[in-house]
Amino acid sequence: MSGQYNQARFWRCALQVNPFSYHGDYRGGEHGLTEATYNQQLLDKCLEHGIKVIGIADHGSVDSVDALRSFLEPYGIVVFPGFEIASTEKIHMVCLFPEGTSKDQLNRYLGKLDLTDTEEKVSPSNLGCLKLARIISDLGGFWYAAHITGKNGLLRLNQDGGGLVHVWKNHALVRAGQIPGPISELPFQFKRIVENVDPNWQRERPLAVINAKDVAKPADLDEAGVTCWIKMTRPCFEAFKVAFLDPESRIRLNSQSEEQPTGEIVSMSVSGGYLDGLNITFSPHLNTVIGGRGTGKSTLLECLRYALDIQPKSKQAQKLHSELIKENLGKESGRIEVELISSAQHGHRYRVSRRYGELPIVRDVNGNVSTLQPRDLLPGIDIYGQNEIYELAQDEQSRLRLLDRFLPNDGGFAQHNASLQKRLHENQQKLLKSLGDLDDLQAEVARLPKLEEQLQGFVALGIQEKLSKTPLFARERQIAMRANEELQHLQLGLAALRDNLPDLTFISDKALEGLPNAPLLIPIRENLQHLQQHFGHYANALQTLLTEGESRQASDLTVWRQALQQGEAELETALRSLPILSGKSGQEVGTAYQQLLREIERIKPLTARVATFNKLKDSLEQERRNLLAEVSDLREQHTQSLLSAAKKLNNRLKGKLKVEVAVEADRTPLKAFLLGCRLDGIGEKRLAWIDGPDTLKPLALASLIRQGPVNLQFELGISPLVADALTKLPAAQLMELEVLELDHRVGISLNIAHGEAEALFKPLDKLSTGQQCTAILHMLLLENVDPLIMDQPEDNLDNAFIAERIVHELRAAKTTRQFLFATHNANIPVFGDAEWIGVFTAVDNRGSLDADAQGSIDVPVIRDQVAAILEGGRAAFIQRKEKYEF
């Protein structure tokens, strides 16, 4: 099999193409073309529109089949020869046969259909539609009902609405019908029948509908209703017939464009190790890997995980992953290369390569090494090894994260929340410093009355008169210190001005090069340059002024210090002349008086600063209140988004799964925080009130704590011991309590009823292991643009649920998302209609996946291997069928 045909894909098919003579025979006119020109133009149109398969269907004649077929086939166009006939009910039937069927064989087939007049090609058969259908099937052919909504169509209705219901309902013999365009454009009465909702015409399975139309001249192939799309691995008649066994998956009208996943793993190759020589091109849709134990299925998935550098979530899974990679890749320093289409990078292609023991290397389409990491390319990719789904089911936070993919675009909650938390932390640091500084300041100011009282004692002794200049000298020292501080402020301000002069690099000639409006931006640069120069000039002038001022002030302070020294020398003389008092020399008494005055003079200015510090504290507290309100609003928005996501998920999985979000119901973080505060006499038992039924949020608790123990006891019903302990929490821990986040609880319930039985929902913790994993897989199959990769999901899944529900959802989801499963369960590749099935074998102690071991179920060799590996072989499958009496 050619490498081109390793997966099922949609091929464009024109299934009612007529030969050269049709137009003149049945349209009452000539198209003006010779047979050679007609065939050439037909070929040109096929190549132009990408038509891969045509069915030749002249009315009751096959005379021109060989000429047209021999012209098209050399160009890779597959031709199904056939004819169009009418049954005795005048139902028009287009009959097609395998591509190698000769003209003589076709004529023999026509002879078996009991046409009323073999010379008159449009004459009907003497046989009914169902009898003809049986004969065509026995001959190895395939037929579809032409223009079923037309005058001679299968759906023509009698006045009583009966029509040909018995023919229509025969699922075994009536497989397909042709309509002129989209189903949505059919007349109402036909639309209901085709959609299989009209109870009078309802079939066991809906009829496959195709677009096809008599092509009487090459230009007819330009019309939309002439072609349809049929999914096959290699376009051939056997695959064509298989497609109509599963039309929902394999037949598309021309109006139905095939959807493509956003993120996709395109191909993978391995050199070295157990999978040496492996080369796979994956389907964008459903891929399954099958094979016996130890053939390499799990190794393939883990190698893919290794290349993309996506670590398993649990420690046990990480250990198993590391061991498998070391064993199967590490011994030969193997290398993996993956080509992918990035959902996050606007559909661009990248190649990711990784050698064992090294980090992944990402290259763009030009071969340049990118700074992006694999996770940046497919940020939503899900990879689960064996039993990882079960581990996910057990972890509440992992279940909560599953809901994130259903959230609407909420403006980046995580980023906004992180920004607010950072600002709150910064506010907390400033506020704590402000409170500490204010406490220190108030403690100093509180000393002033006592110091002033002590001063009065000295005044009573008459010392004040002799040492009257002491407080004045202290004030002078304060003034001198403040003068130096003001100069420092000027120096800092000038430095800041220089630091903030415009940097014109961003608007340089190089930066403007190639910009369409560069000439209009040059005046802006010139203006900034003008300001830069003048501000720089003034900054230099200011620096000169400041330097001169510093010099003058230094000189003036020198003169002042000399005067101060002289005055202090006179004070020293006066101190020595003081009388001895209470055992202290006069000098000691004087020194104590001077120190007291200096302390009073130091503290007096602080009284004015208390108001400033209070104002700063009030401002920071207001900022904190604003930030806490913003956090509360953000959390509420996110909570509503989460509840909306749960509602959306419930609607999507109605009758299968229920998801309930209990907002901030997990009090574990609050209990852990209070235990970490090590409150006196308070252990876990004394904190049992946290788990009470009433909603308790950390911000509200912090507010109650600040109101005192009485309010705490009244509002929360806690003991005095606990209330007193809580009110002793320091300000820093109360602020941490305010911003503490409680986790939501996610309740998941699965409908465990089967078939049409009344729904019976059971919560996750009451389900079996298989049912728990089924519930999680329901969620994983929805709403993700990146691939889902799983190793043997059936190991932990209920087999009935796989067949009834998972496969159904998989078929719908695979149109817009890529899946890759390693499996032993036939339901997934067969009923899921996998576009790519890879059959692994072990050859010479290495995993092998040859080109002829890749394809879809419509490839006989693949079908046989699927039956052998997953069903125990054809005989076992038939024996089970007989046992079940199906």
Distance CA 642, CA 661 (A): 8
Residue spans in the chain of domains classed CATH 3.20.20.140: 9-253
Return the CATH fold of 9-253: TIM Barrel (3.20.20)
Q: Are residues 777 and 758 in contact, defined by beta-carbon separation less than 8 angstroms?
A: no
Q: Are residues 36 and 886 in contact, defined by beta-carbon separation less than 8 angstroms?
A: no
Model pLDDT, residue 142 = 97
Residue 534 has pLDDT above 70, yes or no: yes
Q: Are residues 307 and 328 in contact, defined by beta-carbon separation less than 8 angstroms?
A: no
Residue 625 exposed, middle or buried by CB count within 10 Å (0-12, 13-18, 19+): exposed
- The predicted-structure confidence for 338-371, as pLDDT tens digits, reads as follows 999 999 999 999 999 999 999 999 999 999 999 9
Burial 355-373 (b: 16+ CB within 10 A, else e): bbeeebebbeeeeeebebe
Distance CA 72, CA 87 (A): 30
Distance CA 86, CA 121 (A): 10
Q: Are residues 360 and 353 in contact, defined by beta-carbon separation less than 8 angstroms?
A: yes
- The predicted-structure confidence for 709-727, as pLDDT tens digits, reads as follows 998 888 888 899 999 999 9
- The predicted-structure confidence for 803-857, as pLDDT tens digits, reads as follows 777 888 888 889 899 999 998 888 888 889 999 999 999 988 899 998 889 999 9
Residue 212 has pLDDT above 90, yes or no: yes
pLDDT tier at 462, thresholds 50, 70, 90: low
- Which amino acid is located at 488 in the chain? Q
pLDDT tier at 406, thresholds 50, 70, 90: confident
Distance CA 155, CA 163 (A): 7
**In the predicted model, what is the mean pLDDT of the chain?**
87
719 DSSP assignment = -
Residue 80: CA atoms inside 13 Å, Cβ hemisphere, count? Answer: 28
- The predicted-structure confidence for 742-790, as pLDDT tens digits, reads as follows 888 888 898 888 777 888 999 988 888 778 888 888 888 887 889 999 9
Residue 567 has pLDDT above 70, yes or no: yes
CATH code of the domain occupying 264-405+748-884: 3.40.50.300
Residue spans in the chain of domains classed CATH 3.40.50.300: 264-405+748-884
Residue 18's alpha-carbon distances to 21, 47, 856, in angstroms, are 8, 17, 31
Instruction: Provide the 10 A C-beta neighbour count for residue 424.
Output: 21
- The residues, any chain, with a CB within 8 Å of residue 522's CB and separated by 6 or more, are 512
